[in-house]
């Protein structure tokens, strides 16, 4: 069974996610921005979601984590929770 680990930042609007993505591109810390801006409880841990298997997250989230290149920031990805910036740390 595949497993992956990812960090994410969850915000209310696509615009806010785009702005944070630009800040990340300029080299700002993912963990710092997650702590400051993420609406998810994982924000307190720098956005760290730990390890999970396919199907434990919503489909749009899984599609990024299990199919897109790792160690890159993907998004904004829209889910029922808001807009995510997602960075997969590893998967097997």
Q: Which candidate, 3, 27, 24, 26, places its Cα nearest to that of 84?
A: 24
Helix (H), strand (E) at residue 87: strand 82-91
pLDDT at residue 61, as a whole number: 96
Q: Assign domain 4-91 to its CATH architecture.
A: Roll (3.10)
**pLDDT band, residue 4 (cuts 50/70/90):** very high
Segment 57-70 shows an average pLDDT of 97
End-to-end CA distance of the chain: 8
pLDDT score of 1 more than 90 = no
Q: Where are the domains of the chain?
A: 4-91
pLDDT score of 23 more than 90 = yes
Segment 42-55 shows an average pLDDT of 97
**CA 72 distance to own-chain centroid:** 10
């Amino acid at each position: 069974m595949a497993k992956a680990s990812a960090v994410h930042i969850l915000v209310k609007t696509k615009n806010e996610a785009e702005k944070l993505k630009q800040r990340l591109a300029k080299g700002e810390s993912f963990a710092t921005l997650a702590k400051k801006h993420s609406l998810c409880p994982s924000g307190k841990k720098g956005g760290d979601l730990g390890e999970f298997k396919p199907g434990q997250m919503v489909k749009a989230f899984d599609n990024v984590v299990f199919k897109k290149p790792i160690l890159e920031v993907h998004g904004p990805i829209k889910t029922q929770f808001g807009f995510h910036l997602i960075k997969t740390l590893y998967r097997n």
